[in-house]
């Protein structure tokens, strides 16, 4: 019963809170028990606020009784540790920042708290969020509950793992190269990279078009629920946009979809390809037109452009935080790779966006795998062990996910949803890429796929 309650959808929980069938404190107790059971193995959390969360949940019950409930009233929300909360630690997975305390609160955390969401825990990241996996000397290894031999992904790995483990109801993430979508894929949950400016961020990250803060959840409606709370302009972020009409899950029957399996030459594991084709067939069965296309991209040019971008913006931020102190070896590798001709990078980004614009002249959305590999091995950084996907040896972990092109095309909303189960026991992920700022289309399509494959209502991960 505890496990079933811990996996309750946020939208269902709110309905039950309002009807009196369930008290917020009962849900929080179930989530806390799940965390206490799973954390020794999964390791999704950095800081726990369970006693305070239970007290807040009791107060939330009183607000429901008075008819004063807010949009997220009483829901447990796990916050990625990278997103600061004033007065609490902000360590970004690095022993170098072990004693660092935040002086400001991230705008989306402010909004979650103001909407009645209860922050019961913070979630793990790799050092400085610069990897597609989550492990560090500070926090250890975060594993996917589906198969603990594998990583939860990164950099929002703790958020994805906590959702899969049932130790939170909603979670936050951030994404500069797939860091929301990779954990969504590896953990069989839903993750949304909003279009640039849709969700406010803090300087200087808000000025980097690759950077996006966004929601993770176990269902598409739950992801929309959290996205509706965090979206909209904020006085701290001059590039943030006014909030659009609230996301509602609409019919997808009139939409047209383009399927591109490899985005040019990204290698894709056969299990992942099979799951992607199954998701495409699910859309067809729902009456949606799906046509397979090719794109003239190469992984090499995409990564060269990304490294130039990271060298101009992301790497200097890490170097400023670290100073001349030693970082973890995967962080050093990231810093060593970052750099290149930024103008040439802009030319590549312009071609990618032009190619997508051409796709969107005849399709409402593009679908492709989230990652070419089901998941990375837990604790592996692939600096000595080769990373091989479908027989192709890759030079860096961020080459395995098919995510970075859509950080370049940053105005495109991207939703990652589970598409099928692989032979590793881990779900594959499907990216649904929309036209610039057309959030509603990706949510409509994602809901079709996930409704046909309800992961957490019929069975649970092996270590849940």
Q: Which residue has the tokens 């729902």?
A: 286
Which of the following is catalytic: 80, 167, 193, 419? 80
155 has catalytic annotation: yes
Which of the following is catalytic: 37, 151, 155, 159? 155
- Angle subtended by helix axes 342-359 and 299-312, to nearest 10: 130
DSSP 384: S
Planar angle of CA 94, 100, 102, nearest 5 degrees:
120
Q: Which residues pair with 365 in a beta bridge?
A: 257, 434
Give the residue ranges of DSSP H helices in 116-269. Answer: 157-165, 181-187, 220-230
DSSP for 229-248 reads HH-S-BTTBTTPPPP-SPP-
Which of the following is catalytic: 151, 156, 159, 179? 179
**Nearest to 13, CA basis, from 163, 169, 165:** 169
CA distance 372 to 10: 30
Q: Which residues pair with 214 in a beta bridge?
A: 173
179 has catalytic annotation: yes
CA distance 445 to 417: 10
CB-count exposure of residue 75 (10 Å: 0-12, 13-18, 19+): buried
80 has catalytic annotation: yes
DSSP 194: P
Please report the beta strands in 176-321, taking only residues with DSSP state E, as ranges in sequence order.
190-193, 212-217, 256-259, 289-292
CA distance 232 to 200: 7
The catalytic site residues sit at 80, 155, 179
């Amino acid at each position: 019963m505890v496990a079933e309650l811990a996996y309750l959808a946020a939208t269902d929980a709110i309905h039950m809170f309002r009807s009196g069938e369930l008290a917020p404190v009962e849900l929080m107790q179930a989530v806390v028990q799940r965390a206490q059971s799973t954390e020794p193995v999964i390791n999704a959390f950095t800081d726990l606020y369970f006693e305070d969360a239970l007290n807040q949940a009791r107060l939330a019950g009183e607000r429901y009784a008075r008819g004063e409930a807010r949009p997220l009233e009483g829901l447990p929300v796990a916050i990625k540790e990278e997103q600061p909360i004033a007065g609490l630690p902000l360590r970004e997975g690095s022993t170098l920042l072990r004693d660092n305390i935040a002086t400001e609160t991230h705008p989306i955390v402010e909004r979650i708290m103001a909407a009645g969401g209860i922050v019961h825990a913070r979630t793990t990241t790799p050092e400085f969020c610069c990897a597609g996996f989550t492990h560090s000397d500070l926090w250890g290894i975060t594993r996917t509950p589906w198969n603990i031999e594998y990583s939860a992904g990164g950099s929002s790995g703790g958020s994805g793992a906590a959702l899969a483990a049932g130790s939170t109801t909603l979670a936050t993430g951030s994404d500069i190269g797939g860091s929301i979508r990779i954990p969504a894929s590896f953990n069989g949950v839903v993750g949304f990279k909003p279009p640039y400016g849709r969700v406010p961020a803090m300087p200087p990250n808000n000025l980097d078009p690759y950077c996006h803060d966004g929601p993770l959840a176990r269902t598409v409606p739950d992801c929309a629920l959290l996205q509706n709370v965090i979206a909209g302009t904020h006085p701290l972020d001059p590039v943030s946009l006014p909030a659009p009409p609230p996301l509602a899950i609409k019919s997808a029957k009139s939409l047209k979809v383009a399927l591109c399996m490899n985005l040019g030459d990204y290698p894709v594991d056969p299990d992942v390809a099979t799951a992607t084709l199954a998701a495409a067939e699910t859309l067809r069965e729902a009456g949606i037109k799906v046509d397979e296309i090719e794109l003239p991209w190469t992984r090499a040019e995409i990564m060269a452009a990304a490294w130039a971008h990271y060298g101009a913006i992301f790497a200097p931020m890490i170097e400023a935080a670290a100073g001349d102190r030693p970082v973890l070896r995967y962080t050093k590798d990231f810093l060593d790779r970052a750099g290149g001709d930024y103008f040439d990078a802009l030319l590549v980004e312009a071609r990618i966006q032009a190619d997508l614009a051409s796709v969107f002249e005849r399709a409402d959305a593009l679908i492709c795998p989230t990652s070419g590999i089901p998941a990375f091995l837990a604790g592996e950084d692939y600096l000595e062990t080769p990373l091989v996907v479908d027989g192709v040896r890759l030079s860096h972990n961020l080459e395995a996910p098919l995510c970075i092109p859509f950080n370049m095309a940053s105005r495109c909303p991207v939703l990652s949803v589970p598409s099928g189960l692989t032979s590793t026991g881990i779900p594959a992920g499907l990216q649904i890429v929309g036209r610039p700022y057309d959030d509603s289309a990706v949510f409509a399509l994602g809901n079709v796929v996930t409704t046909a494959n309800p992961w957490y209502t019929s069975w649970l991960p092996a270590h849940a």
